[in-house]
Every structure is written in structure tokens, then in C-alpha cells.
Amino acid sequence: MKKTLLFLSLMAAPALAGEGKWTPQQVLELDPAWLKAQGLQVSPKKLWDPKRGTGLLAGAVNVGGCSGAFISESGLVITNHHCAFSIIQEHSSPQRDLITQGFLAKGRAEELPGKGARVQVPRSFTDVTKEMFAAVPAGADDLARQKAMERKEKELLAECEKRPATRCKVASFDGGVQFVLIDSVELADVRLVYAPPRAVGEYGGEEDNWMWPRHTGDFAILRAYTAPDGSAAQFNAQNVPYKAEFFFPLATEGVKPDDFVMVLGYPGITFRALLADDMAERQARYYPRVVDVYGELIRILEEEGEKDPAGKIAVASTLKGLHNRYKNSGGQLAGLKRGHIVEKQREAEAAVVAWAEKRKEYAGALKARAELLSLQAEKGKAFEREFLLDAMRVGAKGPALAVTLARLAQERAKPDLEREPEYMDRELPRLKDRLEREQKNFFAPADKRAFLALVRRAQALGAGERIAAIDKHFGRTYSEKDVSAKIDALYAGSKVLDLTERQKMSGETEAQLRTRKDALLELGFDLATELVALDELRDRRLGASVRLMPEWRKAVLAHAGKPVAPDANGTLRVTFAKVKGYTPRDGAFYTPQTTLAGVMEKHTGQEPFNVPEKVAAAANAKRYGPWADKRLKDVPVNFLADADTTGGNSGSPTVNGKGQLVGVNFDRVWENVANDFGYNPDVARNVNVDVRYVLWLLDQVEDADGLLRELGVRKGPKAQESR
């Protein structure tokens, strides 16, 4: 990777313990003495080799928006149960409910392929900042600026992906201060090896989600495959396990309080670089609306799912995503308020402004900030309409699928480099997988009620925020009886919801789709028109942001005078931490580890605390094998660390100073949800499955002898008691 920009250099000051999602290149610039003092026992150079794209960090892989880690040289990947949920659901039915029962492949022939499942292994990082900005024509307005940079990004990706089985990405850092081209190997044959029962993988359900103490076995094991010659390939019975150049050995001794750990993975997005006004808008409008709208959709899907066993399976994956966003938004609101984060950001901004006003070289930064504030005020005027249009993309499968088919036909008529990124040729395999996979998630009674709820909200919008497509198809005034009847007719008369016909539609032109006279498709075209206009408006805003934000961020970084890791953006990062408890409120202290005894203490026999019989039998018999912690005198289940994590870190390997896997990250504590806006060392805690709980389940509960041997772990005696 080319040398990072000067202001990202970390040699001038020591890194801050806990805080910071550091890029691979930044890790190489950290003070080796500091890293050793923290507990790193391998050479920092072994973390990442920029010339070869290898090292310890390369063992952390991207698993479809989650993180994961190779744990054997034969392609085994550990991630979260909720990250593998779509594969589990894909192979589940009322007659063979793998969601409830769990799954263990007794041999490789039994491993279950996941449609659309992919694993990306990082290979190289190249600074392309100059190339991106050089693509902008002189005098370009903000929309033209964004379109030119988007075109350049597509060209860079096309060149990068000439190599077989390659997936590339151009990532923006610090709002456009730096652009990096990331090259990864993409493995497209990914199979399920082991998933615990849902009552283990989701133990505590939404009641315990984001909470501590936690007792959840949120992990699953996959395997990546290649063609016999080692090249990446789609699923084929002749494929062989991927040979991982680096994998994490399992630290069977686990961790104890104050141990050093690292969390590696692909954190999705954080907002610490936002101006205070942007943060305030999310606090005042965005998160409350997510709680409101998604809360209603959750209630609908739960009510309808309880009426039909097949329907319950169908809505399970969608519900999981909705629940997570819903509870996350509540946590963001609580954390923003409790931590006075917006107020602190205003104070921090004011300090930078006062500092910059005394330095002529930062006059441009002050001007940029003023224009960014003006843009934020303008953006807020159409908030409700834009929020609901976005909800139409995901809130109900019927209109969402119709929009996708309409957009696909329109975009495919353009040259590839002129299409919207999500409809380029490189994305079509993923898009077609999704069009097929959504059939498993579709349950008509729930979907129609969800759409009804969205239409009701759209019809309640003010005169200046109307959604024309909704007004055209449903009228301007809400009547539950009339709207419900129209939705019933739309769904009954459409082929969009038939998998075979939808697959045909995905290859048809706009003219061919129009001749079908499918009313749901026509609604999709009308919604697509408004979504295209909204996307163009956002492109203009993004162009303005890329023009202005780098100027402001350069001043912020210069004023900081210390290392500042860029906001998360879905790229490979590492955070350094210690195993620690915390004080959630006055008079209370949470220890950093939970145990199998705690699992059984919560057991009620009812969801979400219904321990599977085979797990309870082993626990009650104190059949711990070699997996009990000598200090705890029990099998550790979960542990806390003060790592700087966020969404996307689900499934991240948590490793010790030797580079051995000690756990799998799966959550944050409730008090830490607003960590996305600012790191607070007092409550910044991530939640991990202890590797010893993983091994205990495989050994003492599942008798997964073959899997244990592959992991290089000796099976424990069944009769061994607690130490």
C-alpha cells in the first residue's frame, strides 16, 4: 500500500488504549514498544505484510456484511450464529427445523451450501486518492463531481477485478480525505458445518440483546471451498476445502480479567466525524422514527408468524434484522442522552473553530464547515418523505421486489459503467441470488399488513412531502378497508411474487415488463421513478460533502495532535483491548465473565430462556470436560472487553497477544450502543463468546469428534467433573 497521508501517521504519539479502529497500514505505524507493553507477543510486522497482503489480519474475513475468521487450514470459518442465519433458514422447514434444532455435519458430504453466501479474504490496499480527485472536471458542480468520482471508482474496480475470483472496493476515509482500493479474494462456495440450536445461538433473545450479563452461544462454523485447482468457484460437488494461508489456532486456556485481546474485523459505519448538527438530527428525528416504524413492522410480523409454522420460519430472518435495528436505535437514543454526546461534539467543534480562526491556512476549513451546516439544514426539510421512501425499499417484500425488477430493467439498458453501482454486471449474481433467496423470506399475510402500514404513513404526509406513486395507486386519503383491498388485488394479480416468473422478469427489458400489465410491477416502476430522483439528490449532497468535508477534517485532525482512527467504513480494522468489567450505574459493578451456571440460572423452560435438553443434561451433570476455568470452577460462556467495535464486527475473531482465538465478538452492552458517535472508556464494552464454551458444546454436547480433530483439539472425557 502506498504511504498513508501525513496526518494519519501514528508515530508522533502513542495510541489510546481501547479507542480506535485501526487500519492495517496504521497498525504498522504504531509504536512497537507500546504494542508490546499492551500485551502483543508477536511482532507487529506479523500482523500485516502490505507487499503480500498476508499476516494475522488476513485471517479475519468478510462474511456477507459480518466478520469471521479462518480456524483451520482446510477452510473452516467461525462467525456468529446470526450471521449464518440465512443459510440455516434456507435449509429449514417445519419438517426439518434447523433453526430450532441446530445442525452438525457429520462429514464434509453433509455440509449445507448457502445460496449467495461468500467469504472475502483481504489481499492488498492501495491509496487512490489522487486518481479519484483527478477525475473531477474543472468547474464541475456537486452532482457532476460525484458522478465523475463514481465513474472513476467503477473504472478502478473493473481493472482490479480482471483477476479471477476477485472482489474490489474503493473505500472513503474521513469523508473523502483519503480513498483506498481494497483487493480481496472472493470465495463463492460457502457451506454450513455447525450451528447450535437457536436456544443456544440466541439464548435470551431480544430480552438479552445488547445487555449484560449475557449467556449466548452466538457462533456458527462454515467452510469455504474452491475448485480442485485452488481457484474460487461456485458450488460444485467436486470442490475441495479452501487452503487458508493463515488461520487462528484456538487458545484452549481462554482468557481471564485484564488479559490483552485484539478484535479484528469489518466494522460497518460510525459517525464520530459528523458535525454536531448532523448528530442532533439523528437524535431528534432519525432514531425515533426507526423505533416507531420498525417497531410497528416487528409487531406485524410477530403476530402473523405466530399463526402459521411455515410463516414463522419465513419471517424469522427479516424479524432478526428489524429487531436489531429497532433495539439499536433505542440504545443510540439512550446513549446520546446519557453521554451528552451532541453537546460534547459542539464543544469540540467550537474548540477547533477557535483554533482555526487564529491560523490563516485553515480559513478554508471554517468556510467548509459553514456550508456543511447550511446543507444539513436544507436536507432536514424533506426528512419524513425520504425516510418512508427508504422504508419502501425494505419494509415489505412485494413493492421492494417490484422496484428491484423495474430498476434492473432500466439500468441494464445502459452501458455498464453508466449504471447505478448496485445494478452493474459485477453485482448481477448477487442481485439474482437475493431475488431467489427472498422467496424463503416471503409470507403473504405478514407482507401485506406491513405494506398497509407503510401506505398509511405515506398517506399521512404533508402536502410538500407526498409520495406520488402511493397517491396514484392508493389515493390521498387513508381508508384501511379500501387500501387493504387494493393491496390484496395487487398481490393476487401479480407474478412478481412467484419465484419462477420473477426469475424470468429479471432478464426482461422494461418494454417486456410493461407488456405484462402487472399492477404490482407498475407500482414498482412508479416508486422507482421517485427513488431515482432521491438517489440523484443524495449524489448531489455527497458531491458537496466530498468537496467540503476533507477541508474541515484536516483542521480537526491537525487540532487533535494525537492519533485519530478514521470512522468505520466496512473495511478491515483492528482494535486493541483488555478483558474488563464495568459500572453501568451508581452502585453496580459487572464482572467481565459469565458461566454455564448462569445459563442454567436463567433457564425457565420458556422462550427466550429455554435451554435445549441435551445442553441442560451436560450442564446439570457438571460434565465440563477440560473446558472449565480453574478460577471460575465452571465453563466460561461470554466475556467483556473494552474493544472499539460496532455493527459489522459481528463474528469478529477476538485473539490474544499470541494470535490465538480466544473468542468471537457478537454484541456490545446497552450503555455502549452510542459508541458509534464517541468512545467512552467507562462503558465501552464488547461481548464475546468464550472459545471454551464453543469447545464445550462441540465436545460434551454434540460429540463432534471429527470437527474437534480438525481444530487440533483433543476430546475431553465425558465423566470428567468440574475442577
Q: Collect all residues with Cβ–Cβ distance below 8 Å to 556 and sequence separation of at least 6.
A: 273, 352, 564
Can you give the C-alpha Rg of the chain in angstroms? Answer: 26
DSSP state of 582: B
b/e string for 250-276 if b means 16 or more Cβ within 10 A? bbbebbeeebbbbbbbbbbebbbbbbb
Cβ burial of 6 (10 Å; 0-12, 13-18, 19+) is: exposed
Q: Give the span between the Cα atoms of 668 and 18, in whole angstroms.
A: 14
Is-catalytic flag, 506?
no
Please, are residues 257 and 633 in contact by the beta-carbon 8 Å criterion?
no
Strand extents, DSSP E, 75-230: 76-79, 103-104, 112-113, 119-127, 166-173, 178-187, 189-195, 220-226
Query: Is residue 323 among the annotated active site residues?
Result: no
DSSP for 348-403? Answer: HHHHHHHHHTT-GGGHHHHHHHHHHHHHHHHHGGGHHHHHHHHHHHHS-HHHHHHH
Contacts of 434 (CB under 8 A, 6+ apart): 116, 404
What pairs with residue 62 in β-bridges?
A: 67, 120
The 3 state secondary structure assigned to 453-473 is HHHHHHHCCCHHHCCHHHHHH
Dihedral angle sign, alpha carbons of residues 715, 717, 718, 723: negative
Residue 218 bears catalytic tag: yes
Distance CA 418, CA 403 (A): 19
- Asked whether the CA dihedral 48, 50, 52, 53 is positive or negative, the reply is positive
C-alpha 631/C-alpha 178 separation (Å) is 47
The reply to whether omega before 213 is within 30° of 0 (cis) is: yes
Q: CA-to-CA distance for 346 and 541, rounded, in angstroms?
A: 22
Name the residue type at position 360: K
- Torsion sign across C-alpha atoms 50, 55, 57, 62: positive
Distance CA 349, CA 345 (A): 6
- Does residue 156 contact residue 168 with C-beta atoms inside 8 Å? yes
Residue of 72, 81, 82, 644 with catalytic role: 82
Beta bridge partners of 488: none
Catalytic member of 174, 183, 208, 218: 218
Q: Would you tell me how many other CB atoms lie within 10 Å of the CB of residue 420?
A: 16
Q: Distance between the two ends of the chain, CA-based, in angstroms?
A: 50
Can you give 192-232 as a three-state secondary structure string? EEEECCHHHHCCCHHHHCCCCCCCCCCCEEEEEEECCCCCC
Strands 178-187 and 166-173, sheet pairing: antiparallel
Cα–Cα dist 596/617, whole Å = 12
Strand partners, 179: 172
Q: Do 593 and 690 form a contact (C-beta atoms < 8 A)?
A: yes
Give the integer Cα–Cα distance in Å for 180 and 546. 15
Length in residues, the chain: 723
Residue type, 93: S
Cell match 395507486: residue?
473
List active site positions. 82, 218, 650
